[in-house]
Chain A
């Protein structure tokens, strides 16, 4: 049952006392409900993308022993509003020699490419705009719209840095779509469906039932997919299109005010899309343990589960950004074509063989992979403890876990 259809039918039944199946104006109710849903999704992206800009700066600051913005409002929590208002108040400049229509339209295309993903991204078992049966295909396709916008922005600015940035971005996104697509395929092989809700429905709430730990091939696919998704989202270490040391600001160089904001709005919104995709494909999506039969409470718990998982991966992307240096252009292409594509492809073959040999999956392997994941986390914590010990942080009283500064 789709929540939008249900809401539209309810609207027609209660407000117009008509049967939605036969009433001739049902499509108007559908259009209204879709408009409202689009607005809600837009508000969700705005409320995610705004504060995430502040959170990213705070986290990057703490990782670099700085503080980050903490002056605008308590702990700087209103910094994103201040930045947004500042951008709204700026003049909307169009360079004299720019291709005006393309220049003006480009930010909206980039934003649409990101926002289109929310058509199929679920917020719960029934809370989704549309559960397309080609959901994954649609996602890979609609996010490619970003390339068009980026190329348009780069070309229309009539600035060599913008053009180089735009072309780099296009080359990068087009290249990395291949490993991303190849890494999604193992999941599709297991589930036999391209529907996002179908993929989630095949997983469980327990980590052992997640596709991340389903078999060794999905485990590898997770890492190749996350890397490729970071590159597609122009996130560091693959943020070459905006490499400020060499390209000023890449394809956004000539943009000001709201249009400039739109690009970053799309970039931060994309952070959620990356997290949501990873969560959907590998981490069990909105699956929760059977705690309650209350449908509203269930929906809320499912949404929270999905949101927390997605946000976690957004935080990991910030963490990676604060850790890894930017790669060179040739390295970028080498990573994609010489490493990610072959690995993802061999991995896909392995996954196909696995599905052919063990169609029902193997509980033993699932437990073993979960144990491997837990071992990796333990090893990681041990390395962190090692670095803290080596810097004698505890002796100096430098452990500071409070997020407030």
Chain B
């Protein structure tokens, strides 16, 4: 009998309390992010620097070392580098990343000496064909980047390089903070 009455009391008290809890939620701000069109900022702009989105390559600072191609466990990166017979300079004729194969492991951007290959916060990759997911970065053959002694003279490249090295620092080995500037520049 006492448990019977206790059940009735518990039911009344818990329902009362439960309704109070849900009512307190009723007057709170909803936490829904209304992606994609009703956000204060683009969602891409709110993501952290180290977010592993779609890969991108800054050809201006790519040394053509093929470290990323070798690191890729599923061979989604293909790079062709040849030596220009006239100028004796290394020229990249192809830098393709198949984003349909890419599994966003980040192993390619870890060994990159300049941070040329890096993940972007972009994640919207929907497209109408698999073929168009292959990102071809080299339109015309480009010369590979050679690390300079001293500061980078070209201001445009300097900005990219600074960003790339910061990326490598934070991405590849954020635990063991190596002093910047030892690899290049």
Interface: A401 (CB within 8 A): yes
A324-B15, A339-B8 as given contacts; A380 in contact with B28, CB under 8 Å: no
Contacts of A133 in B (CB 8 A): none
Q: Which residues 366-405 in A have Cβ within 8 Å of B in the complex?
A: 380, 383-384, 386-388, 391, 393, 397-401, 405
A65-B32, A67-B32 as given contacts; A383 in contact with B27, CB under 8 Å: no
A65 touches B27 (CB 8 A): no
A380-B20, A383-B20 as given contacts; A65 in contact with B25, CB under 8 Å: yes
Interface: B85 (CB within 8 A): no
In the complex, how many residue pairs between chain A and chain B have their CB atoms under 8 Å apart?
A: 74
B28 touches A322 (CB 8 A): no
A65-B32, A66-B32, A67-B34 as given contacts; A59 in contact with B26, CB under 8 Å: yes
B32 touches A384 (CB 8 A): no
A63 touches B25 (CB 8 A): yes
Closest to A379 in B: B16
Q: How far is the CA of A399 from the CA of B27 in the complex (A)?
A: 6
The residue that B27 contacts in the complex, of A323, A339, A401, with Cβ under 8 A, is A401
Contacts of A63 in B (CB 8 A): 22-23, 25-26
**C-beta contact mask, B3-38 vs A, less than 8 Å → 1, else 0?**
010011001000111111111111111111010000
Interface: A62 (CB within 8 A): yes
Q: How far is the CA of A66 from the CA of B22 in the complex (A)?
A: 13
B20 touches A405 (CB 8 A): no
Interface: A307 (CB within 8 A): no
A319 touches B7 (CB 8 A): no
Contacts of B21 in A (CB 8 A): 323, 387
Interface: A72 (CB within 8 A): no
Contacts of B15 in A (CB 8 A): 323-324
Interface: A61 (CB within 8 A): yes
Interface: A11 (CB within 8 A): no
B22 touches A319 (CB 8 A): yes
B20 touches A384 (CB 8 A): yes
Q: How many chain-B residues does the 8 Å CB contact rule pick out?
A: 23
A384 touches B23 (CB 8 A): yes
Contacts of B18 in A (CB 8 A): 323-324
B31 touches A339 (CB 8 A): no
A383 touches B29 (CB 8 A): no
Q: How far is the CA of A324 from the CA of B15 in the complex (A)?
A: 8
Q: How far is the CA of A400 from the CA of B31 in the complex (A)?
A: 11
| Contact residues on A (Cβ < 8 Å of other chain), bracket | 20 to 34
The residue that B31 contacts in the complex, of A65, A323, A386, with Cβ under 8 A, is A65
Interface: A140 (CB within 8 A): no
B34 touches A393 (CB 8 A): no
Closest to A223 in B: B12
Q: How far is the CA of A65 from the CA of B8 in the complex (A)?
A: 30
A67-B34, A339-B7, A339-B8 as given contacts; A398 in contact with B28, CB under 8 Å: yes
Q: How far is the CA of A322 from the CA of B19 in the complex (A)?
A: 9
Contacts of A319 in B (CB 8 A): 19, 22-23, 26
Q: How far is the CA of A393 from the CA of B27 in the complex (A)?
A: 10
Interface: A34 (CB within 8 A): no
The residue that B28 contacts in the complex, of A323, A338, A386, A400, with Cβ under 8 A, is A400
The residue that B30 contacts in the complex, of A62, A383, A399, with Cβ under 8 A, is A62
Contacts of A320 in B (CB 8 A): 19
A65 touches B28 (CB 8 A): yes
B19 touches A388 (CB 8 A): no
Q: Which of A319, A343, A383 has the most CB of B within 10 A?
A: A383
Q: How far is the CA of A400 from the CA of B4 in the complex (A)?
A: 41
Binding site for A on B (CB under 8 A): 4, 7-8, 11, 15-32, 34
Nearest 3 A/B pairs, CB to CB: A383-B20, A400-B29, A387-B24
- Could you name 6 residue pairs across A and B whose Cβ atoms are closer than 8 Å? A319-B23, A383-B20, A384-B20, A384-B23, A387-B20, A388-B27
